[in-house]
Structure 1
């Protein structure tokens, strides 16, 4: 017989599955303007809110050697103003009309958005069209934002414990691909760049035919089409943006290195593997593997090393999903002066267990439910829907409907797929191992 606990778990699982199915179908309308701007519209009248977003298919991988940081710099620079928006007024216009706005940059894309009461749709469209049509890119703005970016780098990376770890890993994991530098780039590169270089970068990448305008919320589709045409049809089409994936040869051996960080007192050990990029099914499988190993207190690594053996203060695995490749990273911080190689051995044992033994049905159902729940959560806001619609078109071969196929992809991953991916990509002799030590350790040598 089922206990009350079992009945509650079964009911919760059924409810989660029901919610996921209901959330799976996202209706949308999509089309192209003559200038190449791809437009995606999703109507949801459940709340008087609208998200207006533009995703440009440009990130740090589109930069040139010795001119890194441009895409992230433009994330800031394009808030400077336009021919019709005075410097410092962009965010004031948003907040004074009840909205929120922001932007973020990755290796692969730059994403700008506003979330407004739905009666301010026109304002959101006007702001994004101004950003695209005629932003002001001058010496004043460049110098101002250069200082802003420098301060951000100091706060988030240079003076942050373990703040350099992704930079240190990526420059060893990639030798040819521009993923070898991080989106924030080099301050020396930005200092050396001339105004004309910034203007040329904008002209090349921030064009309608390299962008997706995604709008989700309390809108009228026909009226919104008219507004989109009114605000964006005048933006001139740019030259075709061509990008060819730079192939990296497989890692032929284990790369072991040491990094010293003045901002830490507790050492760490990290390992990184090159894995498939976002469009590949195995990318999702690797995300599942990282969750099995380290998501939550019941995960394999946490339970083994933090709870049971108590030889780690923290332990984790991250699958950083990018367009061309991914990076699968494990890390651990020692407890009770545990040697770093011991921590690496413990992690490797759990990886080997995944490679040699199918995960249990219980663990499999748990991870499936977790990913289904994550899917529902990701589409629970209008901004989340707008971004996921744009990402599907941008990163999945112009397949906007990827948003409605994600659950099927999750459910199609079998226990055998998980085992096979762990075997294929998590090879101990094809990775970067990084000993991340306090600067005092170097002085003591």
Structure 2
């Protein structure tokens, strides 16, 4: 009886996940090329106004890295109608919160307000785009802010530089080889005119998507959007022609050093397909299979059972042009990095040569069902998913159908993709080491 009840409960849960999470949305374009997506949800008196720009850390000129991340900060400095330093005060005094973040592929800004402040949110984002004040005072101020962020998150944080070390060794010609935060000497050397030219090139309505989600009346929202964003001039089309990487056919061996660690790490990193490809979704599942929690393969084997590692993990850093799949571990006691790598390779080989169990397969599918539900459980999550799916993945309705991709992945595909991309001759082997006095 208990088994029957469990099966019934599972079926009911699957039905809820399959049908109750449908996200309705409406799209349209302004004459200046700004793409707009509306999602109406009147269940709570909250609204988010968000803009995602098609500019990220990969968009730089030689010796001028880090501009996109720099602008993430700079565009809070103030506008023609918002005094310098007042942006956050305006938001908080009207019951709102706001933030921004930058990846190698895009930059995202948003405000969350009580729904009666929708117009304020739209006005502020239109001000950011139409009337920003980009002057030397703001540039100098934010230069110091970015330097402090780099010190805290990268220079003085244990293992803070390992992703940068992977990028600079795994990529030879594509701009993913540079760190998202950029090099501070590049920002120091840049002129005010260079920053202004960067804004003019990338921060234009036809290089962005506006998402408004939450407790809205669509007709009223459309009118406000046209009033505030319609007058902004269209910019020149952004043309990209990034160089392609040649396939890795021999193991790349490298070392990197970190002042802030005492325990080394071994990392094996693979250059894999961009996140629009089906194989990238499969690699997502492989990373979860290997290290999705304390019952996962790598953690259970190396940390829990064999007591060989303090930490063991697999990550899939999904990006537009190329993704990065990496396995890494920190040794316990006298265990060598080579030993850890061999033990992790053993689990990769198992994936390549036989199917995972049906039980593990169902567990994986359940994990991704749960992630899907959680990602669309708030207007904040819905807004970012809508923007990402439009701007980077060319299909807004992925917000409703992406879970079907994961559901359709087979055990055979997991085996075949592991075999295709995760071979030792296709990777970077990086020893991430404590820095010695003479290094």
TM beyond 0.5: yes
Q: TM-score, normalised by structure 2?
A: 0.98
Number of positions where the alignment pairs a residue of Structure 1 with one of Structure 2? 439
Cα deviation, residue 16, structure 1: 3.6
1:147 aligned to 144, 148, 152, which one?
Answer: 144
Matched, 1:102 2:99: yes
Cα deviation, residue 8, structure 1: 6.6
CA shift digits 1:74-126 (9 cap, x unpaired) = 00000001000001111111111111100000000000000111111001000
Matched, 1:237 2:234: yes
Q: Distance in 1 between matches of 2:380 and 2:315?
A: 24
User: Could you say which residue in structure 1 is the equivalent of 2:199?
Assistant: 202
Q: Decide whether the 8 Å contact of 1:24 with 1:407 is kept in 2.
A: no
User: Could you say which residue in structure 2 is the equivalent of 1:395?
Assistant: 392
Q: Distance in 2 between matches of 1:291 and 1:239?
A: 41
2:296 aligned to 299, 308, 317, which one?
Answer: 299
- 1:180-195 → structure 2 map (5 Å cutoff): 180-195=177-192
Q: Distance in 1 between matches of 2:194 and 2:9?
A: 56
Give SS of 1:62's match. Answer: coil
2:404 aligned to 380, 403, 408, which one?
Answer: 408
Q: Distance in 1 between matches of 2:290 and 2:403?
A: 21
Q: Distance in 2 between matches of 1:245 and 1:361?
A: 41
Q: Decide whether the 8 Å contact of 1:292 with 1:367 is kept in 2.
A: yes
Give SS of 1:386's match. Answer: helix
Give SS of 2:424's match. Answer: coil
CA shift digits 1:394-417 (9 cap, x unpaired) = 1122x1111111111111111111
Give SS of 1:365's match. Answer: helix
Alpha-carbon spacing, 1:80–1:8, altered in 2? closer, same or farther (3 Å): farther
- 1:239-388 → structure 2 map (5 Å cutoff): 239-388=236-385
Q: Distance in 2 between matches of 1:370 and 1:282?
A: 18
Give SS of 2:426's match. Answer: coil
Q: Distance in 1 between matches of 2:51 and 2:28?
A: 15
Give SS of 2:262's match. Answer: coil
The worse-fitting range, judged by mean Cα deviation, of 251-260 and 26-35 is 251-260
User: Could you say which residue in structure 2 is the equivalent of 1:427?
Assistant: 423
Q: Distance in 1 between matches of 2:85 and 2:188?
A: 23
Matched, 1:165 2:162: yes
Q: Distance in 2 between matches of 1:167 and 1:133?
A: 34
Q: Distance in 2 between matches of 1:353 and 1:113?
A: 44
CA shift digits 1:351-373 (9 cap, x unpaired) = 11000011111111110010011
Q: Decide whether the 8 Å contact of 1:81 with 1:90 is kept in 2.
A: yes
Alpha-carbon spacing, 1:361–1:204, altered in 2? closer, same or farther (3 Å): same
The worse-fitting range, judged by mean Cα deviation, of 236-245 and 264-273 is 236-245
Q: TM-score, normalised by structure 1?
A: 0.97
Cα deviation, residue 261, structure 1: 1.4
Structure 1: gaps of 5 or more residues: none
Give SS of 1:40's match. Answer: strand
Alpha-carbon spacing, 1:56–1:352, altered in 2? closer, same or farther (3 Å): same
Q: Decide whether the 8 Å contact of 2:52 with 2:208 is kept in 1.
A: yes
Q: Decide whether the 8 Å contact of 1:293 with 1:316 is kept in 2.
A: yes
Cα deviation, residue 11, structure 1: 5.2
User: Could you say which residue in structure 2 is the equivalent of 1:226?
Assistant: 223
Q: Decide whether the 8 Å contact of 2:58 with 2:104 is kept in 1.
A: yes
Cα deviation, residue 15, structure 1: 4.4
Q: Decide whether the 8 Å contact of 1:16 with 1:369 is kept in 2.
A: no
Give SS of 2:79's match. Answer: coil
User: Could you say which residue in structure 2 is the equivalent of 1:122?
Assistant: 119
Give SS of 2:425's match. Answer: coil
Matched, 1:113 2:110: yes
Q: Distance in 2 between matches of 1:16 and 1:320?
A: 30
Alpha-carbon spacing, 1:196–1:312, altered in 2? closer, same or farther (3 Å): same
CA shift digits 1:245-266 (9 cap, x unpaired) = 4210001210111222110011
Q: Decide whether the 8 Å contact of 1:254 with 1:433 is kept in 2.
A: yes
The worse-fitting range, judged by mean Cα deviation, of 148-157 and 58-67 is 58-67
Q: Distance in 2 between matches of 1:186 and 1:36?
A: 33
Cα deviation, residue 9, structure 1: 5.0
Give SS of 1:131's match. Answer: helix
User: Could you say which residue in structure 2 is the equivalent of 1:32?
Assistant: 29
Give SS of 2:58's match. Answer: helix
